């Protein structure tokens, strides 16, 4: 997927974080126009500024949290639950062939 426009790095005033919007967009397979690159870059900068406020809080000795709820080990026992019918699974697919999902050829990334 080609991008005609490549924006320069965007610097956040407070954090001096370097984000290459075009690169991030390419990783996410999102095609952005020059105008969008500029606008989204500005918005992301705003989000980072907001996050920077949190960064300023004293967090020494506090464990990083990856989940908002204070719980661990939410597991299920190793028991089989009947799967769904194949016809049901394939009914959502744009194309299928002999019980398989059929997809277009994969192109090499640039």
Residues forming the site for other proteins (CB under 8 A): 27, 29, 66-67, 69, 71-81, 83-84, 86, 89-90, 92, 97-106, 108-109
Residue 9's nearest CA partner among 24, 23, 19, 22 is 19
Nearer to other proteins, 57 or 71 (CB): 71
Nearer to other proteins, 39 or 102 (CB): 102
CA gap 9, 19 in Å, rounded: 5
Nearer to other proteins, 58 or 77 (CB): 77
Name the phi and psi angles at 97, rounded to 5.
-155, 120
């Amino acid at each position: 997927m080609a991008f005609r426009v490549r924006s320069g790095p965007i610097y956040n005033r407070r954090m001096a974080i370097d984000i290459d919007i075009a690169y991030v967009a390419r990783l996410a397979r999102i095609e952005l126009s020059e105008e969008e690159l500029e606008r989204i870059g500005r918005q992301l900068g705003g989000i980072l500024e907001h996050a920077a406020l949190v960064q300023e809080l004293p967090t020494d000795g506090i464990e990083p949290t990856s989940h908002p709820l204070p719980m661990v080990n939410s597991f299920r026992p190793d028991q089989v639950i009947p799967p769904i019918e194949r016809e049901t699974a394939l009914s959502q697919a744009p194309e299928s062939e002999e019980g398989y999902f059929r997809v277009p050829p994969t192109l090499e990334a640039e």
